[in-house]
Structure formats: C-alpha cells, structure tokens
Chains A and B, each alone.
Chain A
Amino acid sequence: MMPRWLVLVVLLSCGAALFLGAGEAAAQGCAMCKTSLGGPGDPLSNGINASIFFMMSMPFVLFTVVGGWLTYMFRKHRPGTNTSEGVAPRPELKLLRAEREGAR
C-alpha cells in the first residue's frame, strides 16, 4: 500500500498538470467563446478568463471556510476534550428503575 504522503504528492501532481496544461486553452472551451473572442492576446478574452477563474474558485473558498469553521467548532466542543473553558464535562447517565407498582 502506498504511503499517505505519496498518494498526496501524486494527487497534487495530477491536479497541477491538469490545470497548468489547460492554461493555454482557458476560455476556449465552448464554441461561442472560441468564435467571439480573439484568442489569448485579446483583452476581452483575458477579462473572461479572470472572471471564470474567480467565480470557479469561490465555491471552493466558501466550502473550505465554512467546513473549517464547523470542524473547528465541533472539535472544540467535543465532550471530554480541552476547551477554552476547561475540560468539557461528559454528561453522566443514570439508570433509574421505576417502581413496578408505581409504573402501573
């Protein structure tokens, strides 16, 4: 089995190759862009590229921020772990046996 760091390196390399290799063909993916834009040197093409990359990154940014915040909050408040207010107490469970006659 491959070590975790090697898996991470392979995945990052694949991702980098995918994005860097596609840099030349940015904003040329659809027929409309290809016919209406002047190519990589066209200012409007650069503008559309910038807009696409910005909007494409936003869901990842938001997911990371909100996911990181939720993870932090849940880890912080996990019972039995250290928090800023000391060790969060575990709720004690008591088993009560109701009187048989009382239950009736």
Chain B
Amino acid sequence: MPRSSNTALADATLEAPPQPNLQVVVPRDGGPGGTVQSPPVSNARVAIAMFLVAESMFFAGLIGAYLVFRVGSVVWPPPGLPALPLGITWLNTIFLFASGVTMIQALRGIRRGDQRALRIGLAWTTALGAVFVAVQGYEWVQLLRHGLTASSGPYGSTFYTLIGTHAVHVVGAMGWVGYVAWMTHRGRYSARTHDGVEVCAVYWLYVCALWGILFWLVYH
C-alpha cells in the first residue's frame, strides 16, 4: 500500500535537524534591554514640515510678484494713494508676536503635563490672534475709505493679496488652535502624547514669523 503524501511529509519533518525559532525581542518600558526606540522624527512633524515648505513656496510666489512692482517702481507708494499706517500695525505686530509667546508657554505646559497651562496658553493665543485680525480689519476699512482698493493698481492689489492671504492663514490657524483646545478639553493630550499641540504650535509660530517678514517688506 503506497504511503500517503501527508505521512511522507511528517517523516521528513521528524528527520530534519531542529531549527531554532528566532525572534527579536525588544523589551518595553525600561526592561533590562532598554526601551523601544521612537523614530527620530514623528510622522506629524514630517507632515507639518512638508506643509510649511509648500506654504513657503506659495508666499514666495506672492512676494516675488510684489518685488517686481515694488523694486520696479520709481515712486512707492504711487502718487495719490495713501501710505500704509505704520503705528497701529506696529501695535498689531506686538499682539501677534505676544500670541507666539503664549503658544510657546502652552507647549511648554503640556510637555511637563500641565493641562491648565495648556488651556490658558491656547486661550490667550486665540484671543490675541482675534485681536490681530480685528485690528487688521479696522485698518483695511480705513484704507478703503482713503481710496486704496484692490483695483488701485499694483500698490493696492499686491497689498491686499499679500496681507489678505496672511490674514486668512491667521484665521485658519485660530481654527486649528480652537480644535486643539477642544481636544485638550476632552483629555486628548498628555506629557507623553502631544504631537497635535506641537504641530499646531509650529504652524502658529510660522504664521507669526511670516508676518514679521511681510511687515518689514510691505510696510517699510
């Protein structure tokens, strides 16, 4: 009677030399072998870096267009159009940079596990951002009353495009901060897990730094 294939396989397995089953074991939580290695850069950080690179190139295009008209004009601002208000914008710049400081304080708070510091920092950041946008809206109304519109030539169109785009980014960042505050209220973040706060803080600080460049470029 011929032997079945299953029987032949079983015999071959029994006759084969023993093969060790090798496993790589990485002890967790401070075991004798150490801890699990986290990646050098988290996915969230890489994502926000790529996003900010794209944002930078977008604003570089707008600034490049502005430079064509600004450097290419003999007189700037053109005759008959109002100069941009410097004093109130300096004050507004201080408000926005202060919001950057409160965002850093919020981030430092959650890094040491202080939920209250995170909540207070986010609230101040949102409030100062809202003040910045409100003051800028007031400034725009005044400029429109003085005859500077988007159709007033390159001076008006580049101003409203550049500053308006930045204002939209500030409003978007405020929405993001609001979302982070809501997630904080739900207990999402801790001293160990707060990538959401970190990327939000990076974006907010980017918007603040971008304003510094635009303010120096457009208002001076």
Interface residues of A (CB under 8 A from B): 43-52, 54-55, 58-59, 62, 66, 69-70, 73-74, 76-79, 88-98, 100, 103
Contact = CB atoms under 8 A, between A and B. Distances in A.
A92 B32 contact: yes
The secondary-structure label for the interface of chain A is helix
Nearest to A43: B72
A54 to B, nearest CB: 6
Contacts of A45: 72
Contacts of A70: 41
Contact of B67 (A51, A62, A91): A51
B25 interface: yes
A55 B25 contact: no
A90 B65 CA distance: 51
Interface of B: 18, 20-27, 32-41, 49, 53, 56-57, 60-61, 63-65, 67-74
Given A54-B60, A62-B57, A47 B70 contact: yes
B67 A47 contact: yes
27 contacts: A43-B71, A43-B74, A44-B68, A47-B71, A47-B73, A51-B65, A55-B60, A55-B61, A58-B56, A58-B57, A62-B56, A73-B40, A77-B38, A77-B39, A79-B37, A89-B33, A89-B34, A91-B27, A92-B32, A92-B34, A93-B25, A93-B26, A94-B24, A94-B33, A95-B22, A96-B23, A98-B23
A79 B21 CA distance: 27
A88 B71 CA distance: 52
B69 A47 contact: yes
Contacts of B24: 93-94
Contacts of A44: 68, 72
Contacts of A50: 67-68, 71
Given A74-B41, A96-B22, 15 more contacts: A43-B71, A46-B71, A47-B68, A50-B67, A51-B71, A62-B53, A62-B57, A73-B40, A76-B40, A88-B37, A92-B32, A92-B33, A93-B25, A96-B23, A97-B22
